[in-house]
C-alpha cells in the first residue's frame, strides 16, 4: 500500500499537516515543500505533486502573530510583575524572543497551510488527475 493519494480519494488531514509543518511534501512526506525560506516549490522533487496552485497568502503570517503574541504577552507580564528587570533588558530579551520565534514558526505555518489546502483539495489540488 502506498502513502500517495489519488486526486479523487479522501486525503488524511493530520498526517498532511504534520508533514507540512516539517516543511515536507504533504503527499509523500519526503520531498522538501519550500525551496527557500518561504518560496513554495512548483512540484515535489520526489513524487512530482503539483503545488503551483497553492494560495497560502496571509494565513501563515496571521497564525504566526497569533501564536507568538499568545506566548510572549503572558510571558512579558509574568516576568515584569515577578522580577522587574531593567526596561532595556526586558525589551532586548522579548524582542529577540519574538523575532526568533516568528522566524522559526513562519515557514512551518506556511507548510501547514499549503498541506491543509492539499488535504482538503482546495484551489485546484484535487482537479488534475
The residue extents of the domains of the chain are 13-119
Q: Of all helices (H) and strands (E), which one includes residue 29?
A: none
pLDDT tens column, 23-51: 999 999 999 999 999 999 999 999 999 99
Q: Which residues pair with 40 in a beta bridge?
A: 34
Q: What percent of the chain has pLDDT over 90?
A: 86
pLDDT of residue 8: 61
Mean pLDDT in residue range 55-83: 97
Amino acid at each position: 500500500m502506498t502513502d500517495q493519494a489519488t486526486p479523487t480519494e479522501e486525503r488524511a488531514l493530520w498526517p498532511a499537516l504534520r508533514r507540512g509543518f516539517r516543511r515536507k511534501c504533504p503527499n509523500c512526506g519526503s520531498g522538501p515543500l519550500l525551496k527557500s525560506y518561504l518560496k513554495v516549490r512548483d512540484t515535489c522533487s520526489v513524487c512530482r505533486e503539483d503545488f503551483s496552485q497553492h494560495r497560502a497568502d496571509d494565513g501563515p503570517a496571521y497564525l504566526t502573530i497569533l501564536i507568538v503574541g499568545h506566548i510572549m504577552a503572558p510571558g512579558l507580564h509574568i516576568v515584569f510583575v515577578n522580577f522587574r528587570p531593567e526596561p532595556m533588558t526586558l525589551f532586548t530579551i522579548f524582542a529577540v524572543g519574538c523575532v526568533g520565534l516568528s522566524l522559526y514558526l513562519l515557514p512551518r505555518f506556511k507548510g501547514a497551510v499549503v498541506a491543509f489546502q492539499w488535504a482538503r483539495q482546495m484551489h485546484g489540488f484535487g482537479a488534475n488527475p
